[in-house]
Structure 1
């Protein structure tokens, strides 16, 4: 199943072109079959490690991966497609003559993995003639034989297909009955079964589960031909099917339905249809300076682009300049110890352990036990994101544990962990925040965006916009986008709601590297206020 064929089958909408499709199409029953026995994995890993060290590698690691995906795709009251994929193979990474080498194979035998190990060593030795400085790998203790599993209650891939289809049909009907003219919905389910072994003495078996339940509704004004859309406000999560059980909690001011622990997809579809139709008569925004109240369903993307990416150390050092750009947050700013990334309200933490997040794993893809660390403290830049062969550049001795590869056939490298804005310490609800805003806009949901190659100057849109006048929401707006630069924007942060409002957003589509790899990452926050931000009108004038 290649990407072109998948797109032909699935149709347009919902950003299908960005879905991390990999592997070959398989029968649904294949997804629930047991993978390779752990004793066999260890035998294969040992064969690779022994071959690599005998041929001169000073370090070697092996990743044996089975990657399962399921896509259930619908439009209106029809199922468009169900796609099941599996990708299975092994990758070997080594250091020989102070240089990295990598090779991969889908020949799941001792001979197959041994040949891959030999190829990796040969590649490293061939490349070493061009290596100016040897790789400096931070020390890492071995953990022996350990395992980790996403703490799920219901394996989404193992749930009956009929139950998944029934849910999406109910969602589509709810949207159509509430005023939508068109609706697309889908389930995207992921299971990564990953085994890691290294010459450090680790044998780590992990079972990672993720899911996403996006939809999009469109309302049409049949007289004018105008139309407006609203996407679902669910977030991709590192959870099981229980996330879609829809246990209701207190709704936020705008009546949107974002829940911390579960998601009511039907109710969100009803609201989406009503709000898409409301957009048809919403007034166009008047450009100017506004105080922005940004919901977590929107703010996650601004965090991702203006904090997550510029604090990747390889980007800071210029390693990503050819493809993904560089960073304004240069080493000299960090070394000064007083670079004001944001106001004193702003604290950003990176982590790979937060329950329910896309990035949560027990160990990263080079055998480092995961944890959390500060990036920005009281507004000041204090650290970056770095892995075993990078941390010495910061004068640090231990990896941050954020190494990842999207496939057994891809070499692992530094990837963004979950990066989150910590909630405020003082009790503050969304309603209380809005009461103090004289002229503002409340923004919900992520939209289009643009940011420069140094992750500094940017523009962000959204899904829903509400005008705030003298502490009250007075109606819906359209054609809204805000412009700023990273340092100015985060220094304009004046209030953050407390932990009761903290929620995760995120994406499966964080692209990086050449050849490009895609990773899944979450970003948490509570609703936050930013004072005096420039808002523009995005409506196109014809003629």
Structure 2
């Protein structure tokens, strides 16, 4: 049945909707309940060659209600922001929880959290939605036109994009929290494709997705990278194929390494995957709780730290979608697995005193789940025996490959074994980059790979790289996070087909 639209005058303020929902949940006697009232705006522009190929600007608004009834979850949502609809949705969520209770094998309990009344807004200098579409389109077309100026040398296709999002959320819970958060995100990138000898190869550049305003786009930086990207795309299409079936020393830049961190450290330490609650998209995990504090995940000089407070980080906010404050903590310390990424449910099961604040839903119509926060590789200490700059790593390598940017990847259902490609590759001989390669992939197991790291970049090489498109769950949800890191060198990694 199609519902009639709600007149703007009938739309109830988020605070009133939240108060009405919480009062009804409490009257019903639920163990716990919360409501998120959300408005999202997403704007995307794509240029393809000499034209603007796509422009979208959409807004979406609604609310979602979660209740815990005798240890069972119920969730329901609606886009109709009226008091009557809140009553209907709360009743439906309770009915779903009661139905779930009949077949549930164990009672869900939640780690404690204090009540908060707070507001958080992403610090920005320029509101991206106040910048004209014309100015944005002009930037994209300038980028693609300049890339295509290399057409006589074989660069035949050019792409450029801008993406912006705004998330305005009100959260309230039966524990007394009332939290308002406004999150801005901005992202830009471009790609050129060269064609020669029956082959096509691309090279890309990104301003990584970050929680910043339009100031993050930095047209000067984008335009200054065009010539390099074009030259490297052309060199790549004429380059020889990488070595096949032999171990190599790899030097990996932050623009490449962030995805390896994401897939082989981030997802395996999501506690819902560890417990088998979530198994879509290459879940569950080999990093089981019996190995906590024992598993030598990486070399002793390797540390991975989660940080939801990181300035401009892709998952930075003041509270997660259960009202848990943002925090920072080690997941891998001195190479050992010491903690996980948790929400209140999984934290209670693990026996932790509180959640790590990793619950997130990508929509008012989505159920919060454990999502990777900003999770990064710490730089090597100044003067450390395994600390080296990128130039020093190259100079100290007799035979190896330098990899930049991301390409194809795959990883098994336990997150043990993986394969990664990249966007650009250079052969290293006798301490020098001697030319580009193409079609390079490497394979390893997670713990083998991270234990083979023998050099880590210093703090001066730290970069905020990350992804705006992490898919998880069914129905699919999308999240963003930053994996700040430094270059690393990894020894004896299998490259190419065996």
For 2:356, the equivalent position in structure 1 comes to 400
Q: Distance in 2 between matches of 1:273 and 1:160?
A: 28
2:141 counterpart residue number? 169
Q: Is the 8 A contact 2:164 2:186 kept in 1?
A: yes
- The one-character-per-residue Cα deviations of 1:417-446 (angstroms, maximum 9, x if unpaired) are 111111111253211121111111110001
Q: Which one of 255, 262, 265 corresponds to residue 307 of structure 1?
A: 265
Post-superposition shift, 1:477? 1.1
Q: Does 1:460 align with 2:435?
A: no
Shift of 1:39: 9.1
| 1:379 correspondence with 2:354 | no
TM-score by length of structure 2 reads 0.94
1:429 pairs with 2:389: yes
Segments of 5+ residues of structure 1 without an aligned counterpart are 1-34, 248-263, 539-543
Question: 2:174 is matched with which residue?
Answer: 199
Q: CA deviation at 1:246?
A: 5.0
Contact 2:361 2:369 in 1 (8 A): yes
Distance of 1:458 and 1:286 partners within structure 2 = 18
Contact 1:60 1:93 in 2 (8 A): yes
Selected match of 2:441 from 481, 488, 501: 481
Residue deviations 1:54-87, cap 9 Å, x none?
A: 1221211110000100111211121122111111
- Report 1:414-425 matches (<5 A): 414-425=370-381
Q: Quick check: 299-308 or 48-57, which moved more?
A: 48-57
> 1:493-519: CA deviations, max 9, x gaps?
011111111112211221111222111
Match status 1:524 vs 2:484: yes
**Is the contact made by 1:483 and 1:533 (CA closer than 8 Å) also made in structure 2?**
yes
The match for 2:5 is none
Superposed CA RMSD in Å reads 1.9
1:333 corresponds to which of 275, 291, 302: 291
Contact 2:247 2:493 in 1 (8 A): yes
Match of 2:189 in 1: 214
**1:229 alignment partner in structure 2:** 202
Q: Which residue of 2 aligns with 1:284?
A: 241
Aligned-partner Cα distance in 1 for 2:204–2:348? 44
Give the superposition deviation at 1:214: 2.5
Matched, 1:182 2:157: yes
Runs of 4+ in 1 over 6 A off after TM superposition: 35-39
5+ long unaligned stretches in structure 2: 1-7
**Count of matched residue positions in the alignment of Structure 1 and Structure 2:** 483
Using the alignment, how far apart are the partners of 2:411 and 2:333 within structure 1?
Answer: 24
Q: Distance in 1 between matches of 2:11 and 2:100?
A: 34
Checking the alignment, whether the CA contact within 8 Å between 2:207 and 2:216 is kept in structure 1 is no
> Could you tell me how far apart the structure 1 residues matched to 2:207 and 2:76 are?
38
TM-superposition CA deviations, 1:75-104 (whole Å, max 9, x none): 112112211111100111111122111111
Which residue does the alignment assign to 1:17?
Answer: none
Q: Spell out, residue by residue over 1:156-180, the C-alpha distance to the aligned partner (whole angstroms, 9 max, x if none).
A: 1221111101111111122112443
- Find 1:155's aligned residue among 106, 127, 138: 127
Q: 1:320 aligns to what SS in structure 2?
A: coil
In structure 2, distance between residues paired with 1:37 and 1:173: 48
Distance 2:360 2:329 in 1: 17
Do 2:282 and 2:411's aligned partners in 1 also have CA atoms closer than 8 Å? no
Q: Does 1:57 align with 2:15?
A: no
Q: CA deviation at 1:37?
A: 13
TM-fit CA distance, 1:113: 1.2
